[in-house]
Amino acid sequence: MADVSREVGHLHEMVTAAYGIFAEARNLNLKPPLQANSNFFHFAEMSDDADAPAATVAATAEPDADARDMTLHGDEIQDSFTKIGAFKTAYIRHSMELMEAIAAAATPSPLDMDELVPLVQRRDHLRKEVHERNVVMKGLIDRLRALQQALCILQGMDHANEDDVAAIASARAMEEV
């Protein structure tokens, strides 16, 4: 039960992250980030020469722990892009943990034959009961059809269709009630 609640918690966090992304995109805030070393903004390393991408790649090689763990919350994060990035990382982290939990739960545990035999016997017993009930229900249905035909013959409606028979039978039932 604890595993299920943990997985539901992961799903809840993933939905919360997705909702946060949509809410942030709706109210897009383009303020500059408070963190100068944010993964999404490397203004200090940008230059006009051709070697600029190498500097940016080198700066992104060491990811910021604050953005990855989403330690900044609410008003501490000022710009929308950093918030969306933090939501994205939280979503990815929760989805990976959920996938690991699902993969761990998907591995079948070997059933002992001593546990399996009573289950098979119970299944066979339930199947037999259902079959017996079906036979009884079929007999009751056949008897009701014969009764409907007898009612039609008594009223002189040998050639009545099933709709008329059903209407007559329901009218008789209502009269008795």
The rounded average pLDDT for each run of 10 residues, N- to C-terminus, in the chain (177 residues) is 72 84 74 53 48 43 44 58 83 88 76 83 95 92 90 73 68 68
In angstroms, the CA 2 to CA 156 distance is 69
Res 63: pLDDT: 45
- Rounded to the nearest 5 degrees, what angle is found at the Cα of 87, between the Cα atoms of 14 and 46? 155
The stretches of the chain forming alpha helices (DSSP H) are 2-26, 52-60, 65-69, 80-106, 113-154, 162-176
Q: Is the pTM of this model over 0.75?
A: no
In angstroms, the CA 78 to CA 131 distance is 68
Res 50: pLDDT: 44
Candidates 40, 41, 34; CA nearest to 75 is 34
Res 60: pLDDT: 43
Res 177: pLDDT: 58
Residue linked to tokens 């006009």: 48
Res 35: pLDDT: 52
Take residue 143 and report the two structure tokens written for it: 């008897």
Res 56: pLDDT: 42
CB 24 within 8 A of CB 77: no
CA distances 156 to 85, 159, 161, Å, are 81, 9, 13
Delimit the domains of the chain by residue range.
Answer: 2-106, 113-176
